[in-house]
């Protein structure tokens, strides 16, 4: 269920930007010549997430989705901009005491469940680590009981805590990762492609588990994915990213029923037509440009059938949920949501 429109945002991201120095070492530049090179992975990203909702970021590989996720949880400092969660700034310059208290309420689920679990630790130790790290429970017997509850909550058995990660399937490992995320009584979970490494049938199980846990525990999700079918199942609202910028942001139903940006339409046309509607589809054309040397103006203009001279000169602002000169100038017919 969507939160009320008047509710204060749980997460606020404002003008977020991240630039990486990808230059050759100083000595190589001196001997071979050449200047410093910078890659703008994220540029001027802003969005809000209400308590209890799922906000998804979608886009092709290299669009900057995972970089945004890492900045939101504080694993990567932004070059500019700010992330606030319940009014507390997550930037490195923020008050450390408040930020540390907030960290207990934030967790992350990674793409590869095997790589994110310590192979030398048994599952009960893996799940109990946040409890011990944040000193949530003192007695060892109570910790063991809590670990058993968490494993049961995600569809495993308490006795599975005696096993090692390699003894589980991919879907079971992701259940363990979810149990670990919940161990600190987290309220906000960033999910970075949490099902992309799993089989389709297992993906559905994990996604249904995450939705059930959200309804039961009131969790808030930032969901990163390139799979539009997954996003359609999970997201309350969706932001579409291209080359480090959000080009469209809309409610989940509205985005699929009436996409505005040409890039969003291109992504939707790439989804297999399982309903065999007979609708003509345009395959995805071209590739994401080199982010070190992006095109001028709208970065999507080399792949856009509606691009004109203004698109090649000026970067379109995000206006009324879409960043596209052709939409703003009404050169594109926008379908109405049913």
Local confidence band at 228 (pLDDT 50, 70, 90 cut-offs): confident
- Note the pLDDT of residue 80: 93
Q: What pTM value is reported for the model?
A: 0.89
C-alpha gyration radius of the chain: 22
Model confidence over 54-112: pLDDT tens digits? 999 999 888 999 999 999 988 899 999 999 998 888 875 545 777 777 888 999 998 88
**pLDDT bracket for residue 274 (50, 70, 90):** low
- Residue 179, pLDDT score: 96
User: Whole-angstrom Cα distance, residue 47 to residue 31?
Assistant: 44
| Higher per-residue pLDDT: 20 or 62 | 20
Mean pLDDT, the chain, integer: 88
Average pLDDT over residues 133-137: 91
The pLDDT of 249-273, averaged and rounded, is: 86
Strand stretches in 68-227, DSSP E = 80-85, 88-89, 106-109, 188-192, 220-225
**Could you tell me which residue, 95 or 290, shows the higher pLDDT?**
290
- Give pLDDT tens digits for 141-198: 999 999 999 999 999 999 999 999 999 999 999 999 999 999 999 999 999 998 887 8
Stretch (H or E) spanning 45: strand 38-50
* Nearest in space to 329 (alpha carbons), one of 338, 314, 237, 337: 314
Q: In 10 A of CB 330, how many CB atoms?
A: 8
Q: Is the pLDDT of residue 44 over 80?
A: yes
**Predicted pLDDT of residue 7:** 65
| Contact of 11 with 84, CB cutoff 8 Å | yes
- Backbone φ, ψ for residue 29 (5° rounding): -65, -35
């Amino acid at each position: 269920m969507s939160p009320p429109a008047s509710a204060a945002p749980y997460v606020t991201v404002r003008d977020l930007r991240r630039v990486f120095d990808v230059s050759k070492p100083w000595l190589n530049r001196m001997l071979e010549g050449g200047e410093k090179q910078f890659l703008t992975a994220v540029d001027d990203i802003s969005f809000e997430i209400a308590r209890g909702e799922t906000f998804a970021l979608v886009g092709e590989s290299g669009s900057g989705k995972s970089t945004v996720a890492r900045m939101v949880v504080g694993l990567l400092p932004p070059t500019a901009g700010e992330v606030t969660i319940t009014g507390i700034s997550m930037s490195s310059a923020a008050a450390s005491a408040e930020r540390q208290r907030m960290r207990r309420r934030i967790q992350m689920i990674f793409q590869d469940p095997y790589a994110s679990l310590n192979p030398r630790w048994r599952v009960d130790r893996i799940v109990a680590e946040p409890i011990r790290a944040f000193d949530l429970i003192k007695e060892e017997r109570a910790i063991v009981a809590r670990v058993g509850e968490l494993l049961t909550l995600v569809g495993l058995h308490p006795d599975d805590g005696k096993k090692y990660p390699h003894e589980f399937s991919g879907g079971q490992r992701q259940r363990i990762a979810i149990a670990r995320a919940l161990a600190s009584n987290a309220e906000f979970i960033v999910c970075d492609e949490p099902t992309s490494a799993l089989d389709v049938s297992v993906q559905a199980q994990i996604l249904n588990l995450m939705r059930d846990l959200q309804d039961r525990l009131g969790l808030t999700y930032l969901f990163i994915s390139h799979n539009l079918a997954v996003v359609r199942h999970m997201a309350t609202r969706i932001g579409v990213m291209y080359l480090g910028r959000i080009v469209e942001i809309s409610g989940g139903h509205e985005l699929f029923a009436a996409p505005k940006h040409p890039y969003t339409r291109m992504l939707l046309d790439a989804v297999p037509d399982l309903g065999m509607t007979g609708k003509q589809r345009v395959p995805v054309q071209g590739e994401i440009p080199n982010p070190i040397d992006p095109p001028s103006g709208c970065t999507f203009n080399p792949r856009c059938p509606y691009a004109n001279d203004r698109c090649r000169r000026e970067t379109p602002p995000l206006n009324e949920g879409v960043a596209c000169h052709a939409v703003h100038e009404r050169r594109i017919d926008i379908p109405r949501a049913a």
